[in-house]
Amino acid sequence: MAMQLLPRSQERRSRRRGIAMLAGLALVSAVALSPLAAAFASPSSASRRSLGAAAVAAVLTFVKPQEALAQSANIASKDLDVEGFQDPPEVVEARTKALALERIRQDELYKEFRGWFAEFAKDGQTFDLRVELLTRMQKQILAERTLPQGVTRTDVVKGVKAVKFNIGCIKAKTKSDEDCKRLEKAFNKMLAAIDKVYDRSLVSAR
């Protein structure tokens, strides 16, 4: 069978690829196995298997990220004065006392608000006092820039609507009856105060 000869141009490209591959392997060997140059220079000093194992060990010594990270963290911990970032004991004590006092104050605000609402919802309560109580609650909300902890807008709306239903201030009567009109106006102002401090315009725009 006659041998098929490659064109000269293809043969030259093939030779160039071979030369390039050999050059690349030589470069990798020079970089990775430089610690073993002496061993490779004297073939009789070790077997090929020993040299191969030593080559792998030499390459692996260049890649130890965990050890490098641990060393850098160790250096950073020595240079960093953690205690310098801690507040003095008197500052911590003052902050703890302030938080305790604020919890007490918030509890008192809640009790005060709940007491007003209970008076507002009491059977037989006068319209004048109901309007005044809604105004008190409105002022507290604006002053604190929030509802008392444990009270939500939904709680307020449900409670006031229940009272309005019980006293007959519903539907057209909220516009025709003078007392119901005053109560409705005070209630709307209170809702406006709640919406202002919670900025419901931004929430509804989303």
Q: For position 67, what pLDDT does the model report?
A: 55
Q: For position 9, what pLDDT does the model report?
A: 54
3-class SS of residue 94:
helix
If the chain, 206 residues long, is cut into consecutive pieces of 10 residues, what is the mean pLDDT of each piece?
50 56 51 45 48 44 49 56 73 90 94 96 95 97 94 95 94 91 96 90 45
Q: For position 39, what pLDDT does the model report?
A: 43
Q: For position 28, what pLDDT does the model report?
A: 47
3-class SS of residue 129:
helix
H/E stretch holding 48 reads helix 48-60
DSSP state of 43: G
Q: For position 14, what pLDDT does the model report?
A: 55
CA distance 5 to 9: 12
Q: How many other CB atoms are found less than 10 A from the CB of residue 120?
A: 21
CA distances from 127 to 31, 153, 164, 167, 168 (A): 93, 22, 11, 10, 12
In the numeric block, which tokens belong to residue 46?
A: 């070790």
Task: Find the helix packing angle between 89-121 and 153-167, rounded to 10°.
Answer: 20
